[in-house]
Chains A and B, each alone.
Chain A
């Protein structure tokens, strides 16, 4: 299982095998243009963070990639081909999923539904399938949860099981929508390191959305930073810079580095009058209060 644990060297890496490429995507939601000319690509084994405040359009972008929402323009290629609704190349863990505590599904059943839950008909139990499910549970650190009802697991445990559900069909691209929201710091750290390990070991491209950048900083290869419906894309150190984000937000933004953490500080004063300031900077503006 331990193939390559050191981070890939991006400068001398072999040609990127593009798993996802997003070209000029625009999307509307409830009559509002939430995404405009979004461009980025992700290669196999890359860990990309999709960062933006609440309401920045992260979930909409995921739905466009999944094909459950139609874009107003542009194209999405998954594995080099136009994506379609039944795409076995994509594994997905939705945001704020709720699983009923009474659901008669054990963790192993949910992971098993990741193999063939979309197919009609039924299958008889087989030892191969059982082994595959147990290996996956082991890989996501949920072996001891195998026989527990998924609805009774904690948020972090459910997250791990759902990642197993998404990964067992061996997708090329794993989409995780706000997996760290509602997790305590320790669980969040566990989920991040689990996903980073999986991305490297199984050469899966990961796109993970978050409104908070710091938990992802140690593992992110690249970042797609979303604000005001637009995005900048690049390595974290290229994107998370005052002048880059100021241009994206359309008003002055400072990036402070404190004890290895990044604070994106949107001015709270005059920029409030700007088109995006009040809504886009909610999650990030909160950091300012801590400083002052």
Chain B
């Protein structure tokens, strides 16, 4: 009993903000898992990172007009994806370029919004909470919206999951089967923008990538099965979010100020620990397959003639 007492500071289970934090964290983890796996597979981590950063614009804009930050994240992320598409994010070569252009102009707007906000309120609270998140101050009204957005993302993934997996594994195999690599790419980016918005509410716009990529990358190290990998990623992300919430709650009794450490710090730190842990597990479990030496000259016609 004393151990439990030690682990959970009094009032943890009775606190409304804690409940909301646990729910929102779990919802974000639920969509971040599968989307993160696709993002790592498709090599589009930069797009995920950029969408998170652009969320800063949305989040600060939302404060400016007086609506919940989730709305700002959602609107600006979806708009950013649309603009990235217009510029040409699907072409592998133009992808980083399009992302970079949108990212730059988005952050420019964010600078303006945050400036207006801070001069208006003469406080830096908004900036910190948009950039680094403030999970304990999530409004009650945000929870049903988050659930609805997650439902949309998961429905979309269930629908296009198989073609998207094939297109992500090898675009040529996919298009030979009549799969539109472009359409699956759209669907993926749309789902990604929504998932990143949920991650941004949880741990802040610029940290959102950590929740998106970290657990997925960790899961990819320990599992070779597509659905299991996504499930493991979800589990790891939930673990990071919940343990992060618990530690942040407990940290109210910690030095230096006895005012609590930020949730986002704990979540991101836990993601890193999980990633390193999974790497260690992978090394223990799976002795590397001996990789056959490349047969130099095998494709050389002379080798065949000789």
Residues of chain A touching chain B, judged by Cβ–Cβ distance below 8 Å, are 66, 68, 84-87, 90, 92, 94, 97-100, 102-106, 109-110, 113, 116-122, 147-149, 152, 154, 162, 165, 180-185, 188, 211-212, 214-215, 261, 263, 283-284, 286-287, 289-290
**Given contacts A90-B176, A97-B173, A122-B162, are A104 and B292 in contact (CB under 8 A)?**
no
Which 9 A/B pairs are nearest by Cβ-Cβ distance? A86-B178, A184-B295, A92-B176, A94-B172, A104-B229, A117-B166, A118-B177, A184-B298, A149-B224
Do A290 and B302 touch (CB < 8 A)?
yes
**B23, CB-defined interface residue at 8 Å:** no
Q: Knowing A117-B166, A154-B292, A290-B306 touch, does A105 contact B301 (C-beta < 8 A)? A: no
**A152→B163 CA distance, assembly (Å):** 22
B161 interface neighbour in A100, A122, A214, A290, Cβ under 8 Å: A122
In the complex, which residues 261-301 of chain B have their Cβ closer than 8 Å to any Cβ of chain A? 289, 291-292, 295, 298-301
In the complex, besides A117-B166, A261-B305, 5 extra interface pairs with C-beta distance below 8 angstroms are A104-B219, A117-B173, A120-B163, A215-B304, A289-B302
Tell me how far the C-beta of A27 lies from the nearest C-beta in chain B, rounded to whole angstroms: 17
Chain A residues within an 8 Å CB radius of B162? 113, 116-122
- Whether the Cβ atoms of B178 and A147 lie closer than 8 Å is no
Query: Digit string of B176-205 for contact with A (CB within 8 Å is 1, else 0)?
Result: 111100000000000000000000000000
What's the least CB distance linking A259 to chain B, in Å?
10
**B169 touches which one: A105, A152, A263 (CB < 8 A)?**
A105
Pair A68/B226 contact, Cβ less than 8 Å: no
CB-nearest residue of chain A to B161: A122
Q: Assuming the A-B contacts A100-B41, A185-B298, A290-B302, are A148 and B289 also in contact, with contact meaning beta carbons closer than 8 angstroms in the complex?
A: yes
Cβ-defined partner of B159 (8 Å) among A121, A182, A283, A286? A121
Tell me which residues across on chain A come within 8 A of B169, comparing CB atoms: 99-100, 103, 105, 110, 113
The binding surface of chain B is classed by DSSP as: helix
Which among A90, A99, A154, A287 is the interface contact of B302 at CB below 8 angstroms? A287
A98 to B305, CA, bound (A): 28
Minimum CB–CB distance for A271 against chain B, Å: 19
| Cβ contacts under 8 Å, A183 to chain B | 295, 298-299
- By the criterion CB–CB under 8 Å, are B225 and A290 in contact? no
Cβ B224 vs Cβ A99 within 8 A: no
Contacts of B224 in A (CB 8 A): 104-106, 147-149
Contacts of B97 in A (CB 8 A): none
Q: Are B170 and A94 in contact (CB under 8 A)?
A: yes
> Which B residues are in CB contact (< 8 Å) with A215?
304
- A contact residues around B298 at 8 Å (CB): 182-185, 188
Give the residues in chain A near B303, CB-CB below 8 Å: 185
Cβ-defined partner of A68 (8 Å) among B158, B175, B223, B300: B175
Complex Cα distance, B162 from A162, in Å, reads 17
A188 vs B305: C-alpha distance when bound (angstroms): 14
CB distance from A59 to the nearest CB of B (A): 10
List the B side residues contacting A180 at CB < 8 Å. 299
A148 contacts across to B, CB distance below 8 A: 224, 289
In the complex, A188 Cα to B299 Cα: how many Å? Answer: 10
